[in-house]
Structure 1
Amino acid sequence: MLQSSTQFTNTILRNIKILPPKQFHTTSKRFNLFDKLGSKSLQGSLPKDTETLLRPRSAKQVAPTNPADILTQNDILMYSNKPLNYIESIKTNGFHLNNNFFIKSPNLEGEVIGLLLVGSETFEIKLGNKDSAMFEINNHIVTFNDLILNIFKKLHPKPEILIIGLGKKTSRIMNLKNKSFFNNLGINLEISDSFNGGQIFDLLSTERPGVIGALLLPPNV
């Protein structure tokens, strides 16, 4: 999927290997992946049995008030196979993936860590620190360094649609030169904040597996 490059592999990207379903990734005890505090789940609650789920609501039943539950009950992709790198939830300091990996930012060295999803592959992407960041936020405009952009020149096949998550603020936009770079590669863009970007990736990658990618800044920048 990603052609070999010593510079990118050793300094920028770290491939997250997908574990078999019965194995789990271990993390420090101070991180509770399933803690509801400071996290946003991308899924609503579901009835345990499909018969209850699909049965028409009677007049005595009360309609759900939680918007996530309403959307979930009308989700036509509910029983579709989800990609291995499906984003389970987004916490204030990183991303919790369906394969039980937690991508935390910043890391122990103080570097900003982004998330790169291509096909079924998961990569941690090092975005530098405050002194040598590989992206710049000027007011509401986000600009990515050429080292980050050139990763996509080495991808084959390239994603048809790339979801770009620009961090925690919804008002941000991407630099026009960055947009032109992806247009020249034939990659369509879907740009939003990182939380909504995670939702869009989950939806599109479930609907169209193998052709959707994502580059998400951590939700705390």
Structure 2
Amino acid sequence: MVSGGVRQSAVASMLPYLAKTLRSESPKISNQTLPSLRYTDTGFTINRVNYEGSLLIVENKIMSWAPKRFSEITTESLSIFKVLRPVPEILILGCGRNIEPINPELRRFIRSTGMKLEAVDSRNAASTYNILNEEGRMVAVALLPYGVTS
């Protein structure tokens, strides 16, 4: 019994040191940059992993995104930004092959979240995301595949 108590005491005395070490050595997720985002006609490649279809990337978290065409991008398809905190400073919207005009309702919704909006073709969206992410900026990107034309 004495040896068990001594062992527990030793473990208990090491816990603060262990916690401090883990905190100082753990990478900060928000400061990690996502490896280069590249586009294809049907999806995207991130860190040599291919993703087919549309993507939403927020805080370096990659999610499949429902819209298949530009007309399917709605406030509902971007509703995650109603509850996401902290809010990214900018949303880059990759419209597919061509830049499309943004619906005023969608523009108002994005503005109401506190984000700025940059709508460009998906090739330039990927490039802009890479640059801003490399700078450590808090950025989100919603991407239709480059092969999508409307």
- Structure ID, larger Rg: 2
Q: Does 1:95 align with 2:44?
A: yes
Give the aligned length. Answer: 118
Q: Judging by fraction of residues, say which structure has more helix.
A: 2
Give 1:216's aligned amino acid.
L
**Are residues 150 and 206 of structure 1, via their aligned partners in 2, closer, same or farther at CA, if it must alter by over 3 Å?**
same
- Give the corresponding residue for 2:34: 84
Task: Tell me the CA shift for residue 149 of structure 1.
Answer: 2.4
Task: Tell me the CA shift for residue 174 of structure 1.
Answer: 1.2
CA distance in structure 2 between the aligned counterparts of 1:179 and 1:147, rounded to whole angstroms: 13
Structure 1 unpaired stretches of 5+: 1-80, 106-113, 137-142
Task: Tell me the CA shift for residue 159 of structure 1.
Answer: 0.5
TM-score of the aligned structures, taking structure 1 as reference length: 0.49
Identity of aligned residues (%): 31
Cα-Cα RMSD = 2.0
Q: Secondary structure at the match of 1:186?
A: coil
Q: Does 1:121 align with 2:61?
A: yes
CA distance in structure 2 between the aligned counterparts of 1:121 and 1:158, rounded to whole angstroms: 14
TM-score of the aligned structures, taking structure 2 as reference length: 0.70
- Give the corresponding residue for 2:123: 195
Give 2:140's aligned amino acid.
G
Task: Tell me the CA shift for residue 163 of structure 1.
Answer: 0.5
Structure 2 unpaired stretches of 5+: 1-30
Kept in 2: contact 1:82–1:206 (CA 8 A): no
Structure 1 segments, 4+ long, off by >3 Å, are none
Kept in 2: contact 1:167–1:220 (CA 8 A): yes
Alignment of 1:1-221 (within 5 A): 83-87=33-37, 89-98=38-47, 100-105=48-53, 114-127=54-67, 135-136=70-71, 144-170=73-99, 172-209=100-137, 211-221=138-148
